[in-house]
A = this chain, B = another copy of it.
């Protein structure tokens, strides 16, 4: 199938089976087009997202079906743009990661209403990206693509490489050529093409957009470009899992990191769907967004009371959140304000402190993005913005093993000779 940028109403009706996904719908003007590998509205250039047909679902039957499903995201197949038999296809089966009741952290932060960490480092390639890539992969299968691609500076490259390997797709991932060697190895080990671009991440992105419009890109599914409407839906599963793991209950407050902002908007979408389907009680919840001070365009706009997000040049150790011009920024502002949440940011030093705080209280080693959410949670409590008497969920979206440099200062408590005398001298007993 030829690659298109815009959807056209002249397209025939859906010819693909992506379960309850009924059409693509423009987030801005509501214009609907059939399902296809397109991502922008032909009418207004707004972003397309999945419109579902959930009619005919009986709440209690659906709940039972989910609970009897596999211990991965496919338990929610009836709510995702995937065919009903998705669990039988080769993929990495991400999700159903632990919701850790973080009593030690709660004590340190003064949270009394229940504090939970949703720990997505438990995914196959140890970040939440496995959730979104898994959706893009099913869309790629449906549209007959044979190559899975993306631009990336880290987590996404590994997630795409691994998913493509398992599913029997060719993969071709584009990264800035001067990435750290460790990150290159993590992405290259899966055996796909890994192409270094002489330039920065913006150059990589520009090149990918060119490639999508070129015959050379035919048959290529770029997970975060022409498959983006499907890809983005993967983040809904975080909302579903949190609620089911809380006993089919909405959290009162949830703290979500912001890169493009897509994850936060889809978590809101997921919570709204659960309410509409009757799977959880309809009650208020607050969504808080977390950024690093060194890349805080959304937080800056929130604090200034703006509706528009002004781009920034990122300079932070939280590289997986370092998107200076977040596409979904305005939607994030709207959700934070509508739900009574907020958007806040923390310095790199606070990120490192928060990584260590989470590790020493709960034994969870988060990547820098997790340090951002925990750090922001702490700050919001100290500032009286987040209510410590309410049930609060904090997302950890990645693994500390991927950002070891951030805590490189951590080291030995003591160095001793192999003798009891030397041990006693060190004052460790």
CB within 8 Å of B: which residues of A?
71, 90, 92-93, 96, 98, 103-104, 122, 124-126, 158, 161-166, 168, 172, 177, 181-182, 184-186, 188-199, 203-204, 206-207, 210-211, 214, 216, 355-356, 359-365, 399-402, 404, 407-408, 410-420, 423-424, 426, 428-429
The 8 closest A-B pairs by CB, nearest first: A191-B360, A162-B363, A166-B363, A207-B418, A196-B415, A188-B410, A401-B401, A165-B363
Q: In angstroms, how far is the closest chain B Cβ from the Cβ of A326?
A: 22
Q: In angstroms, how far is the closest chain B Cβ from the Cβ of A364?
A: 8
The reply to whether B190 and A415 form a contact with Cβ atoms under 8 Å apart is no
Given contacts A104-B90, A355-B189, contact A412 B177 (CB under 8 A): yes
A–B complex contacts, Cβ < 8 Å, 24 sampled: A90-B103, A92-B363, A124-B363, A162-B363, A164-B363, A165-B363, A177-B415, A184-B410, A185-B404, A185-B410, A186-B404, A190-B359, A190-B365, A192-B360, A195-B414, A195-B416, A195-B423, A196-B412, A197-B417, A198-B417, A206-B418, A207-B418, A207-B423, A401-B402
* Complex contacts, A361 vs chain B, CB 8 Å: 165-166
Cβ contact of A122, chosen from B124, B164, B410, B419, cutoff 8 A: B124
* Complex contacts, A126 vs chain B, CB 8 Å: 126, 399, 401
Which has the most chain B C-beta neighbours within 10 Å: A161, A163, A197, A199? A197
The reply to whether A199 and B418 form a contact with Cβ atoms under 8 Å apart is yes
* Complex contacts, A404 vs chain B, CB 8 Å: 182, 185-186
Number of copies: 2
The reply to whether B412 and A195 form a contact with Cβ atoms under 8 Å apart is yes
The reply to whether A195 and B415 form a contact with Cβ atoms under 8 Å apart is yes
Name the residue of chain B whose CB is nearest to the CB of A206.
B418
Q: In angstroms, how far is the closest chain B Cβ from the Cβ of A241?
A: 12
* Complex contacts, A417 vs chain B, CB 8 Å: 197-199
Task: A126-B399, A185-B408, A188-B410 given; name 6 further pairs at CB < 8 Å.
Answer: A90-B104, A125-B363, A177-B415, A181-B411, A198-B415, A207-B418
* Complex contacts, A214 vs chain B, CB 8 Å: 420
Tell me the complex Cα distance, A364–B189, Å.
9
The reply to whether A216 and B424 form a contact with Cβ atoms under 8 Å apart is yes
* Complex contacts, A198 vs chain B, CB 8 Å: 415-418
The reply to whether A420 and B189 form a contact with Cβ atoms under 8 Å apart is no
* Complex contacts, A166 vs chain B, CB 8 Å: 104, 361-363
The reply to whether A162 and B211 form a contact with Cβ atoms under 8 Å apart is no
Given contacts A177-B415, A189-B356, contact A104 B407 (CB under 8 A): no
The reply to whether A365 and B162 form a contact with Cβ atoms under 8 Å apart is yes
Which has the most chain B C-beta neighbours within 10 Å: A92, A96, A185, A426? A185
* Complex contacts, A210 vs chain B, CB 8 Å: 419-420
Name the residue of chain B whose CB is nearest to the CB of A360.
B191
The reply to whether B162 and A359 form a contact with Cβ atoms under 8 Å apart is yes
Name the residue of chain B whose CB is nearest to the CB of A362.
B166
Tell me the complex Cα distance, A360–B193, Å.
11
* Complex contacts, A401 vs chain B, CB 8 Å: 126, 186, 399, 401-402
The reply to whether B98 and A184 form a contact with Cβ atoms under 8 Å apart is no
Tell me the complex Cα distance, A418–B402, Å.
27
Tell me the complex Cα distance, A424–B416, Å.
58
Tell me the complex Cα distance, A93–B161, Å.
29
Given contacts A104-B166, A198-B418, contact A359 B189 (CB under 8 A): yes
Name the residue of chain B whose CB is nearest to the CB of A168.
B104
Q: In angstroms, how far is the closest chain B Cβ from the Cβ of A191?
A: 3
Which has the most chain B C-beta neighbours within 10 Å: A402, A410, A417, A426? A410
Tell me the complex Cα distance, A163–B203, Å.
43
* Complex contacts, A355 vs chain B, CB 8 Å: 189
